[in-house]
Structure 1
Amino acid sequence: MTSAPPPDSAFLARLRAVAREQAAPLRRVSCAVDADPALLPGLLDGALPWRQFAGLPAAYNPDPLRVDGRAVHLRWCAEQVVVWEELARADAGIALGLPGPAMSGHVMAELGDPQQLERYYGRLADGPVWTFFGMTEPAHGSDPAAMATTLTPADGGGLLLNGTKRFVGNGARSATGVLFARRHRGPLGVVAVLLESDRPGFTGVPLDTIGLRGLELSELRMRDVPVAEEDVLGRHRSATRQGMWAAVRTFNRYRPVVSCLALGVAQAAHDYVTGHRGDAHSAAAPRFAEFAAQLAGVRAMVLAAARSADHDPADGTLASAAKIRATRLAEDITTAAVRAFGPGARWEHPLLDKWARDARAFEFMEGTSNIQRLTLAQGYLHGRI
């Protein structure tokens, strides 16, 4: 991802402190955005930081995050999991709802040619621009073998895109992004396309969700959307290094981020309980002391998974292990946090209610735990663990 040396533990500790301070404004608008996700874009003008966390390349970001005077562009997964845990500790839904490249940026880094990269990042550099990553489908999930979205030749030249993608983060508010479609049969038939949302036949519709509402999960519908050959990503690469190859590497790099998001929500709920029920003699004290040790252990696992992804994005073994543990811990802690306050807790403590709803979303992001266990089994059989 970068020629610079990977960040050491001392630098990551300083980065965490800076990120925690920068993330504070997210908590102040947490409940408001949860009630109405449409408020989020209007809060970006000076109220919420976004360029510092967007992960834009240096050439397109004049105002990056800085630690000890050093610009941090979050190109390392190890940096991302530290920063995004602190963002999620403030508010995971808003963090995921901030503009920037997100998952589509990983695909662009793998497959984009110079003209496509300029077209993509040049637009993002102009202001707060959201992007989409369109993979999951209503009837087939993320199974590439069953993908029904098609990219077919159009009469008179060019290509036409048809299909539906669902559970796409920021989809309805996005201006550009990456979408996967089947160009022909076979395992190498799936390609990635760089697409703007203002093309005829393209529609984004927000979905009604109960958790991570700031992310505004959406459905994308394509009906004879015109696509040119120069929109197809990875044309300069071999067929084995195009669509699904880039998607797998993206998932492997993003799963540690999902893990740290779950960890951030878990830490927020833990902080809340220990802050309001901090008496060592309280009934919740022993359980939450145990949770503190588990949080530290899972945090170390997530960082190890991030470093593994930086070293080899093709190996998702540790990323899968981290996601299983982090998502389970988030559900356990948020459930225990509500119980620590007794009947009526979710009405009397809106943040606890929100964290309990948000925590359930991570199980379904980038593969459920059963899918992660299959990846772990493959890693074991291949001697990776």
Structure 2
Amino acid sequence: MQTRTFAEWMADVDAYVAGPAAAWAQQIETTGAVPQAVWQELNDRGYLRLAAPRDFGGFGLTFVEYLRLLERFAAMHGSMRVIVHVMNSLWRSLASKASLGQMERFVKPFIAGQLRATFTLTEPNSGSGADIKTTARREGDEYVVNGEKWMIIFSDVADYFLLFCRLEGTSGGEGTLALMVPRDAMGLQIEYMAPAMGVTGTQHGHLRLSNCRVPVANRLGEEGDGLEVAFRGFLDPSRTAIGMTCVGAAQRSLDLATEHALTRVTFGQPLAKRQVIQMWLAEMATDIAAARQLVLHAARKLDEGHSITVDASMAKMFATEMLQRVTDKALQIHGGPGYFQSSEIERLYRDARMQRFEEGTSEIQKMVIARDVLDKAKAARERRNRG
């Protein structure tokens, strides 16, 4: 496998984002579709397996290193950013409970780009966690699955859906399953949803499972391990990574706004001379710097082997809301011309809204954080009472 220094990776990614990726962005916005050639190019360049271990066929970058590259990738078109992010994240879920045989069937082909899978948790009539309603019952060597999933990304290209459901008659975290459901599974119907507000060309799907039959051999881990595969394997690092994609998109927005402020002349002087514009730029830069450090703090903890559930929620919550503030100010600095689709800031503004939904809303992150704050306070009170 090709060996590169981190500096070489950074230079390569910067050149790609400024060149080929910019050309792809124009084509995607014009056609409303992500060509298969984009997937192939990203895979051929090694961008879809940066974070995976070398033993699995990846390049073995640390999480911090990967996130520093992801910040650069986030300046790309939103759909291309999503491809890089998901493919560099989902292997953790697949590998977390995979048997040796499943490593060969699913994990290594996924990392190599020979197999595409997508995270399949969200449902129309429930949240994205322990209240999942899609059920399964075992019949011999198969599970019979019934339920619905929606807003499932890459539904048009996925070979497998990493689907989370529960055994019939169970509730909460009990009896949850992680199943690799093949695209051609009997009883699976895939309906494509309407185009989204942003991330043009990324197809989301509504999955309907009616007595859908899935081999028991496609279960990752044991019965009851489903939510652990979802949350420990994928969501914590993925939430942190989303935080860094917000940092990258916000930095690009700041760069565009700054350049516009320096070149746009009104009433005889550049916008950059206006004090209010200077104040906005200062606020934007500070917001970005704070989010970047919060994300890197969580990433360093993951590299050191610590749990980052709360840190990931903090990073995602702050960074996604930061991105809204920064893109709003950036669009305001651009004025009327920034509102038209010919403007890059217009696309960044639309794409930015998606991150607040990915891997749980800000409200979900706040629940995770508040629970930790209260648990620590209760523990401290109990220690005082014992003392």
Question: C-alpha distance in 1, partners of 2:112/2:90?
Answer: 17
Counterpart code for 1:32: Q
Compared CA separation, residues 353 and 193, structure 1 to 2 (3 A): same
How far apart are 1:142 and its partner, in Å? 0.8
Question: C-alpha distance in 2, partners of 1:264/1:347?
Answer: 22
Asked if 1 retains the 8 angstrom alpha-carbon contact of 2:52 and 2:88, the reply is: no
Asked if 1 retains the 8 angstrom alpha-carbon contact of 2:191 and 2:207, the reply is: yes
| 1:39 maps to 2:46 | no
- Written as runs of structure 1 = structure 2, the 5 A alignment for 1:153-302 is 153-154=138-139, 158-184=142-168, 185-186=170-171, 187-207=173-193, 208-235=195-222, 242-249=225-232, 250-278=234-262, 280-282=272-274, 284-302=277-295
2:135 is matched with 150
Counterpart code for 1:151: A
Asked if 1 retains the 8 angstrom alpha-carbon contact of 2:150 and 2:207, the reply is: yes
How far apart are 1:15 and its partner, in Å? 5.2
Asked if 2 retains the 8 angstrom alpha-carbon contact of 1:131 and 1:171, the reply is: no
Name the SS of the counterpart of 1:233 in structure 2. coil
Asked if 2 retains the 8 angstrom alpha-carbon contact of 1:97 and 1:214, the reply is: no
1:58 is matched with 54
1:368 is matched with 361
Alpha-carbon displacement from aligned partner over 1:133-157 (angstroms, at most 9, x marks no partner): 1000011121323x22111134x75
Asked if 1 retains the 8 angstrom alpha-carbon contact of 2:185 and 2:214, the reply is: no
| 1:332 maps to 2:350 | no
How far apart are 1:44 and its partner, in Å? 4.0
Question: C-alpha distance in 2, partners of 1:306/1:284?
Answer: 33
- Number of equivalenced pairs: 359
Compared CA separation, residues 98 and 216, structure 1 to 2 (3 A): farther
How far apart are 1:126 and its partner, in Å? 6.1
Question: C-alpha distance in 2, partners of 1:299/1:126?
Answer: 30
Asked if 1 retains the 8 angstrom alpha-carbon contact of 2:78 and 2:200, the reply is: no
Name the SS of the counterpart of 2:34 in structure 1. helix
Per the normalisation by structure 2, the TM-score is: 0.83
Counterpart code for 2:78: A
Asked if 2 retains the 8 angstrom alpha-carbon contact of 1:96 and 1:214, the reply is: no
Question: C-alpha distance in 2, partners of 1:340/1:39?
Answer: 30
Compared CA separation, residues 126 and 17, structure 1 to 2 (3 A): closer
Compared CA separation, residues 22 and 382, structure 1 to 2 (3 A): farther
How far apart are 1:211 and its partner, in Å? 1.2
Asked if 1 retains the 8 angstrom alpha-carbon contact of 2:43 and 2:113, the reply is: no
Q: Which runs of 5+ in 2 are unaligned?
A: 263-269, 378-387
Asked if 2 retains the 8 angstrom alpha-carbon contact of 1:262 and 1:327, the reply is: yes
Q: Which runs of 5+ in 1 are unaligned?
A: 1-10, 65-71
Question: C-alpha distance in 1, partners of 2:78/2:101?
Answer: 33
Alpha-carbon displacement from aligned partner over 1:40-87 (angstroms, at most 9, x marks no partner): 3133444885533334443554xx6xxxxxxx334x332332122111
Compared CA separation, residues 16 and 23, structure 1 to 2 (3 A): same
Identity rate, percent: 24
2:65 is matched with 79
Cα root mean square deviation, aligned: 2.8
Question: C-alpha distance in 2, partners of 1:126/1:105?
Answer: 11
Compared CA separation, residues 221 and 212, structure 1 to 2 (3 A): same
Counterpart code for 1:165: K
Asked if 1 retains the 8 angstrom alpha-carbon contact of 2:155 and 2:203, the reply is: yes
Asked if 1 retains the 8 angstrom alpha-carbon contact of 2:121 and 2:164, the reply is: yes
Question: C-alpha distance in 2, partners of 1:112/1:221?
Answer: 26
Alpha-carbon displacement from aligned partner over 1:298-331 (angstroms, at most 9, x marks no partner): 1111100122234456441111111121111111
How far apart are 1:369 and its partner, in Å? 1.1
Counterpart code for 2:291: V
Per the normalisation by structure 1, the TM-score is: 0.83
